[in-house]
């Protein structure tokens, strides 16, 4: 297309359009508070900004996940504390039951209390958080154990699966967040198996078997020590979650600052620039208006 404007006029129009474009960008920055509204505003910042926003989104999601993990770990730790207290109560009852002054009837009464503790522990193994059995491993919709005190072996086999869930630390590392009820209460080592220990005690008390009660009582300290070790896992995991959450909070603030630095407009500078551009536009229009105009009639006069 051939322009009908002379070179001077064309230069004026080009300059005026450039000022108008800059005015539009500056006005948009002031109204949105963002300096990078389109790629053309600052192409060099686009890639760093997108990367910073992606990192911020990932960090925020990790923080949300850690919040959910914290709830589960806190509930797990409380459940293990309760279990520890129940087992200590069982040891006290065992010590009472082993004395020679006990009768078959009184031992049967103690057995009923041990049976109640066994039921409570199976109930604790079925602890849930938001509809999930937290001690059933990856099979978190399945209660880990069933119990029937009328059976020779009252506690069922483990009904869950292995626990493979991990939590992600904002620094990129991961850590385990849970144990299974099988690991906690149903150890493969008979000398540290909570359910087996209490079942042996329960059976001996019901049978008025003083020697059997003594054997069960003698093994309980080692089981108690093992149970304490499982409780310690949850205490350690609580510390890991707290450290990860604190780290993540700081990281989110850093990334938000980075995104802000790349995307946010400097309002004061933008207003100054807007005023300057408006003055330039007015000056250009006034200058153009003072340029002498000639026409064909001027040459014919």
Alpha carbons within 13 A on the beta-carbon side of 284: 18
Percent of residues, the chain, with pLDDT higher than 90: 67
Closest CA to 244 of 167, 131, 150: 167
Q: Tokens 């207003």 correspond to what residue? A: 271
Beta strands in the chain (DSSP E): 128-129, 132-133, 166-168, 174-176
Name every residue whose Cβ is closer than 8 Å to that of residue 208 and which is 6 or more positions away in sequence. Answer: 103, 104, 107, 108
Q: Check: pTM over 0.85? Answer yes or no.
A: no
**Confidence check: pLDDT of 30 > 60:** no
Instruction: Determine the pLDDT at residue 294.
Output: 54
197, 200, 205, 211 alpha-carbon torsion, rounded to 10°: -100
Closest CA to 72 of 167, 154, 149: 167
Q: What is the pLDDT of residues 182-228, one digit of tens each?
A: 999 999 999 999 999 999 999 999 999 999 999 999 999 999 999 99
**Confidence check: pLDDT of 28 > 80:** no
**Confidence check: pLDDT of 20 > 90:** no
Pair 102, 209: CB distance under 8 Å: no
Q: Partners of 168 in the beta sheet?
A: 174
Q: What is the pLDDT of residues 244-289, one digit of tens each?
A: 999 999 999 999 988 877 765 445 554 545 455 455 556 555 555 5
Q: What is the pLDDT of residues 153-188, one digit of tens each?
A: 999 999 999 999 999 999 999 999 999 999 999 999
Which region among 1-15, 73-87, 202-216 has the lowest average model confidence (pLDDT)?
1-15
Cα(18)–Cα(281) distance, integer angstroms: 10
Instruction: Determine the pLDDT at residue 204.
Output: 98
Instruction: Determine the pLDDT at residue 272.
Output: 46
Cα(232)–Cα(229) distance, integer angstroms: 5
Instruction: Determine the pLDDT at residue 270.
Output: 44
Pair 233, 179: CB distance under 8 Å: yes
3-state secondary structure of 175: strand
More confident residue, 7 or 91: 91
Burial label for 99, CB within 10 Å (0-12, 13-18, 19+), is exposed
Please give the mean pLDDT across all residues of the chain. 84
**Confidence check: pLDDT of 15 > 90:** no
């Amino acid at each position: 297309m051939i322009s009908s404007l002379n070179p001077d006029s064309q230069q004026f129009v080009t300059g005026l359009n450039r000022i108008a474009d800059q005015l539009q960008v500056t006005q948009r920055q002031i109204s949105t508070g963002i300096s990078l509204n389109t790629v053309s505003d600052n192409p060099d910042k686009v890639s760093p900004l997108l990367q910073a926003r992606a990192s911020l989104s990932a960090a925020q999601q990790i923080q949300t996940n850690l919040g959910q993990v914290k709830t589960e770990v806190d509930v797990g730790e409380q459940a293990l504390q309760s279990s520890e207290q129940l087992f200590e109560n069982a040891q006290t009852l065992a010590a009472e039951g082993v004395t020679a002054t006990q009768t078959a009837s009184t031992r049967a009464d103690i057995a009923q209390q041990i049976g109640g503790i066994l039921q409570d522990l199976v109930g604790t193994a079925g602890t849930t958080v938001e509809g999930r059995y937290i001690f059933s491993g990856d099979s978190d919709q399945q209660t880990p154990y069933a119990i029937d005190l009328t059976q020779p072996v009252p506690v069922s086999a483990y009904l869950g699966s292995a626990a493979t869930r991990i939590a992600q630390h904002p620094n990129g590392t991961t850590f385990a967040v849970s144990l299974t009820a099988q690991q906690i209460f149903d150890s493969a080592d008979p000398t540290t198996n909570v359910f087996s220990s209490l079942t042996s005690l329960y059976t001996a008390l019901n049978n008025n078997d003083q020697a059997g009660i003594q054997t069960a009582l003698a093994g309980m300290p080692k089981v108690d020590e093992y149970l304490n070790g499982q409780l310690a896992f949850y205490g350690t995991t609580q510390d890991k979650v707290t450290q990860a959450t604190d780290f993540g909070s700081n990281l989110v603030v850093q990334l938000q600052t980075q995104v802000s630095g790349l995307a946010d407009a400097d309002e004061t500078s933008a207003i100054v620039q807007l005023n300057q551009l408006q003055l330039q536009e007015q000056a250009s229009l006034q200058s153009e208006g003072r340029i002498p105009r000639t026409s064909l009639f001027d040459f014919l006069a």
